[in-house]
Every structure is written in structure tokens, then in C-alpha cells.
Amino acid sequence: MASDWRNAADYDYLDNLDVSGLAWECLRRNARYRADYPQMRDGLKSPAAWGLRFPG
């Protein structure tokens, strides 16, 4: 069953996210990011264009 976006209780988990968790929640819902992801995964596009940094 799909959640009701108007139900505040469905979003209570957001209160416990750190900054990077909240950023991920916003990013993963972005249609342009989802369209770019396969190219980033395959090394054809830089994640830096989305402000992503990976340690190492």
C-alpha cells in the first residue's frame, strides 16, 4: 500500500536523519539525479556535478 504524502507520521523518520541522510532523501527523489545515476555508476558522468564526494 502506498503511503499518503499528506500524512505527517509517514515522515517522522526524517527527524532522526543527519545532514547527509536528509541530503540523500532529497537527492534520491530527484528525477534528474535518477536519470544521471546509471552514467555516474558506469563512470561516464562525474558525481561531483551533483555535489557528491566520496572519501578515499
Answer whether 21's CB lies under 8 Å from 11's CB: no
Q: Environment class of residue 53 by beta-carbon count within 10 Å: exposed (0-12), middle (13-18) or buried (19+)? A: exposed
Question: Domain segments of the chain: what residues?
Answer: 18-47
Q: How far apart are CA 28 and CA 34, in angstroms?
A: 7
Tens digits of per-residue pLDDT, 17-47? 999 899 889 999 999 999 999 999 999 999 9
Question: Which of 23, 27, 22, 1 minimizes the C-alpha distance to 11?
Answer: 22
pLDDT at 37: 93
Which amino acid is located at 41 in the chain?
R
